[in-house]
Amino acid sequence: MKYLKAWVATFGIFLTLNVFSQTSLDFGDDKYQPRLGQEGKDVIWLPTETKLVTLMLKTAKVTPNDLVYDLGAGDGKIAIAAAKEFGARAVGIEFNADMAALAQRNAIRAGVGDRVKIINGDIFKEDFSKATVLTLYLLPELNMQLRPTILKMKPGTRVVSHAFSMGDWYPDAEFDSPAISYYWVVPAPIDGVWTISGMEPQNKVTLKIAQLFQDIGGILQIGESSQPILSPKLNGAKLSFSYIDRNKNSHKVSVTIDNNEFKGIDKIGGFFTSEIIGKRN
């Protein structure tokens, strides 16, 4: 409980000075009245500001094709916004049974009860692997506990966290208005040695990649010649990089990774393209 106590202490002044007060705002209904700052399993309850909810969902590029999971759903605010403002399907996971029931009633009152489901459960036990977008407002220690699970999710899954980061997994984007938040895209695991066909049929081509989350580097070997790849970028399952061939032509490679295989194109000088396939050794 030490993290919870630290959290309470940190936000004590905030709760005193902020316009949100436990006595002046009504967050519940006739069946349940939550208190701003009330203790939960691992954190206290503080709803995310409406402007920030919208910004978080916009940053994650939420569309009607998405399935948004909100971990620690509270009164359902983020899940409801994902459905009502962006047309997505949304699932909230909330440990407090009364709060979860309130959130579901709020979804029905908002007219999105058919697209929002609130689960009364533990975020460390419930399965959220099918999410295409994940939203968080948890303590740093909880983010770090969840990080291994998040990194195993489908590459390209978008993650937005209000207030807290994920250690040395640096964000793809960060914003601080109206409050600090972080955005990541789950990267495909691509480290290792790949054999590429279609790039130079007369030579054996291999690509050795080193990876730290979305930060990558690599060595491309064509026949007896090797060189570092230029401007490498990994965005979910999309990998791109450049290289210079023996005739001093500039190439731009763009591929999509699918487990131990990738497919894409090798574009020469912006004009001629060839299809390439890579397989991890």
Global pTM reads: 0.89
**pLDDT score, position 14:** 42
Contact (Cβ atoms closer than 8 angstroms) between residue 259 and residue 242: no
Please enumerate in sequence order all residues whose Cβ is within 8 A of that of 125, keeping only pairs 6 or more positions apart, or say none: none
Last residue of a domain, one of 165, 185, 205: 185
**pLDDT score, position 16:** 36
Whether residues 78 and 156 share a domain: the answer is: yes
Q: Write the CATH number for 219.
A: 2.40.128.20
Mean pLDDT, rounded, of the chain: 91
Last residue of a domain, one of 185, 211, 246: 185
CB atoms within 10 A of CB 207: 25
Contact (Cβ atoms closer than 8 angstroms) between residue 278 and residue 193: no
Read off the pLDDT of each residue in 40-49 and give the average, rounded to a whole number: 88
Whether residues 209 and 151 share a domain: the answer is: no
Whether residues 81 and 217 share a domain: the answer is: no
**pLDDT score, position 40:** 80
Whether residues 222 and 155 share a domain: the answer is: no
Whether residues 181 and 137 share a domain: the answer is: yes
Whether residues 180 and 206 share a domain: the answer is: no
Q: Write the CATH number for 150.
A: 3.40.50.150
Last residue of a domain, one of 141, 161, 185: 185
Whether residues 119 and 167 share a domain: the answer is: yes
Whether residues 113 and 215 share a domain: the answer is: no
Query: How many residues in total does the chain contain?
Result: 281
pLDDT of 96 above 60: yes
Read off the pLDDT of each residue in 137-162 and give the average, rounded to a whole number: 98
The count of structural domains within the chain is 2
Domain of residue 164: give its range: 2-185
**pLDDT score, position 152:** 98
